[in-house]
A and B are shown apart, each in its own frame.
Chain A
Amino acid sequence: MKLLAIFAAASLTGVFPQIDREPRFQFAGSDQLAFQITQGARADVFAAASPKYPEQLYAQGLCSKPAVFATNTVVLAVPRANPAHIHSIYDLRRDGIKLVIGAKGVPIGDYTRTMLAKLDLSSALKNVVSEEDDVKIVVAKVALGEADAGFVYRTDVKPVGNKVFRIAVPAAGQPTVRYELCIPTTSQHPKLAAAFVREVLSPRGRTALRTAGFGLP
């Protein structure tokens, strides 16, 4: 039996298996997945949390023309116990807060930096205690109660809603988070891969994405 290998952004961990539980998934930071594909990894579908990497691969002739399939928003996740008493993202300017964000190059890390700069909140970066390789590790460290706050996607908070609550980012700073997917030229099963892409873009796929809290293009 032919099994597809789907390389998908960590933030798609919950929703992709709901759309199709058949394939083998690898969930990680989009930048790492793109790197693996440039190194020859046999991915059948590449779904990233930003257009940057699919477009780069497309420009290098390493994947098909990318399609937008979902959108998201950045929020601040705070543990329910809220040890640092954070009630607005402007509280992050205070000293002594343990803030966890995505590393540079990881989509959530880049969105976070852009957003903080737009809101004139870059001083919050002094509170960063760790830069993680993908958004799910940021979520995990906040949910564990070890970090005081972390910037993640809205959709990441839902699955850990009993441990974490979210604080909205002002609309003026909200980056445009677009998810794109494409079929790498290394794919062994391009037809099956195209079927998976159609499934994601289908009404059923869109319903699953919307239920998980994603926006739709």
Chain B
Amino acid sequence: MKVLFGAAAAVALTFLALPVLAIFLRVSPTTLVHELNDPVARDALVVSLRTSALAQALVLVLGTPTAYLLATRRFRGRNVLLTVVELPLVLPPAVAGIGLFAAFGRTGLLSTSVPFTQLAVVLAIAFVSAPFFMRTAVASFEALDPTLIAAARTLGARPWRVFVRIALPLSAGGLGAGLALSFARGLGEFGATIMFAGSLQRVTQTLSLAIYAEFARNFDVALAMGAMLVAFSFFLLLVVKWLSFGWTSPFRSVPSSSA
């Protein structure tokens, strides 16, 4: 049994790690850094960072109160709303793309002029990544000790004060972890963006789109951008684990060196 499990683990871990390692082994680190100086790569990095920052700000500002309501209220249709929040997680990106057109396209329900603008990238990223934040946020608000809230209320704290002084600080780790996860997912967004926002250097061409555009044209540049995304995503997922120390037990056995 020990041997079987060990073998399975070895195969699985190698399979998962190999493509990622291969990206870094294919060209030397100096070439990678050099290729990142390519204007396409630099522009894509700026577009990615700007649109991701805006999208995650939207997710945080609108998603936090929504998650708080969903976590603390019990009402008819709550499960339906939770499902609506989760749906983009499993939606094929192409469906998200036509959905965004159908809603925000010029010929869509709201008939806006958003398509093909940087705002379109922001909306696409927010749409696909918000569930990652909101699910985690709902879970961490739900994990709050209800007696603390009740105590604060009996001591005369208004709901707003309870939210700001008790719920938010106690869930900060969970919210941060959710945001990092959402950020990581948003950086990799591809399908909905290329459909709804198009691909134009310096405007809507994010790193993921630039990798796709360059892979047939200049493989090394695509590889360098890929390596950068891998490194960044790895860092973000580590942050998720680190922030999760405070509110879930499975990681507690791992000693934490930082505060």
Contact = CB atoms under 8 A, between A and B. Distances in A.
B217 A130 contact: no
A128 interface: yes
Interface of B (DSSP majority class): loop
Contacts of A141: 198
Interface string A112-132: 000000000000000011111
A103 B198 contact: no
A128 B106 contact: no
B106 A105 contact: no
A156 B216 CA distance: 24
Nearest to A100: B198
Contacts of B216: 31-32, 34-35, 105
Interface string B103-137: 00111000000011100000000000000000000
Nearest to B114: A146
Contacts of A32: 216
Interface residues of A, number: 21
B190 interface: no
B217 A128 contact: no
Contacts of A104: 217
A145 interface: yes
B252 to A, nearest CB: 47
A210 interface: no
Contacts of B204: 129-130
Contacts of B101: 144, 146
Nearest to A98: B116
A45 interface: no
Given A32-B216, A98-B116, A147-B116, A130 B199 contact: yes
